[in-house]
Amino acid sequence: MTTGDPDDVLLDIRDLELRYGAAIAVRGISLSVRRGQLVAVIGNNGAGKSSMLRGATGLVRPSAGKVFFRGADTTHVSANRKVRQGLVMVPEGRLLFPDQSVEDNLVLGAYVHGGLKTARARQTLDKVLTLFPRLKERLGQQAGSMSGGEQQMLAIARGLMAEPELLIIDELSLGLAPKIVEQLIDVLATLNREGLSILLVEQLASYALAIADHAYVIANGRVSHQGPSREIATNPDVMESFLGKKKSAS
């Protein structure tokens, strides 16, 4: 969904560079997400997608470049403060608290707003459990004992509990069966239709491109292609790079 003023940029990453010691993982990436957009980022293993997200969310300090969120320079703002401002990430591999219950994981998602103390947080919890009825049935279950798909639902739900303005998801499909990925993609499309801005990093290109407005392809720490997702989906160079990762082939 694309809405509002075309200049209404929520996240604006400019010439981002990120190093791990001497190794450069991100070599000058510029990427933006406008309010209401669903933007997809695709790219092969080791391309620098997660590193770019770590730079954008404040988990790793960029070696160069800037990150603007809602128009303000947040390049050196801590990850914690960024979450409070509405920049929320569902990390690659989910990083749940496996020994804690589903409910505790959800409450932890709301900790930046004081847990479940406010009526608004309890409303958000109700909404999230309506979106994921499976979690509602399993509130007391240990998070780590759930299926991979249920755990990814919980990771997204925990992110929503932080009341994001922009929800970033790193590798939605990791380790999941195609049917579950389709269900989760539908949930993201619904959330986006309701107005949530989403930045989706996903190796299964066709799933992400099917629901995205705009897409970026990352290769070797750089943006190799970008454009409306329909154009990216039919770009022969891009499709060649992602052959075997198409929905039809899974």
Ligand X SMILES: Nc1ncnc2c1ncn2[C@@H]1O[C@H](COP(=O)(O)OP(=O)(O)OP(=O)(O)O)[C@@H](O)[C@H]1O
* Interacting residues of 234 by C-beta distance below 8 A, sequence separation 6+: none
Strand 9-20: give its sheet, edge to edge. Answer: 23-34, 9-20, 64-69, 72-73
Q: State the binding partner of 87 from ligand X, Mg ion, none, CB within 5 to 8 A by kind.
A: none
Number of residues that bind ligand X (CB under 6 A): 14
Residues of this chain, 48-107, that bind ligand X according to CB under 6 A:
48-51, 92
DSSP string, 208-246: HHHH-SEEEEEETTEEEEEEEHHHHHT-HHHHHHTTT-S
The H or E element containing residue 33 is: strand 23-34
Residue 51 contacts which entry, ligand X, Mg ion, none (Cβ below 5-8 A, type-dependent)? ligand X
Whose structure tokens read 């560079």?
17
Query: Which of 8, 17, 92, 165 lies at the binding interface for Mg ion (CB under 5 A)?
Result: 92
Q: How far is the CB of 52 from Mg ion (least distance, A)?
A: 9
Query: Between residues 157 and 168, which has the closer beta carbon with respect to Mg ion?
Result: 168
43 scored as a contact of ligand X (CB under 6 A) = yes
Contact 38, 1 (CB under 8 A): yes
CB of 124 to ligand X, least distance (A): 29
CB of 127 vs Mg ion, minimal distance in Å: 29
Instruction: Give residues in contact with Mg ion (CB under 5 A).
Output: 49-50, 92
Instruction: Give residues in contact with ligand X (CB under 6 A).
Output: 20, 23, 25, 43, 45-51, 92, 171, 203
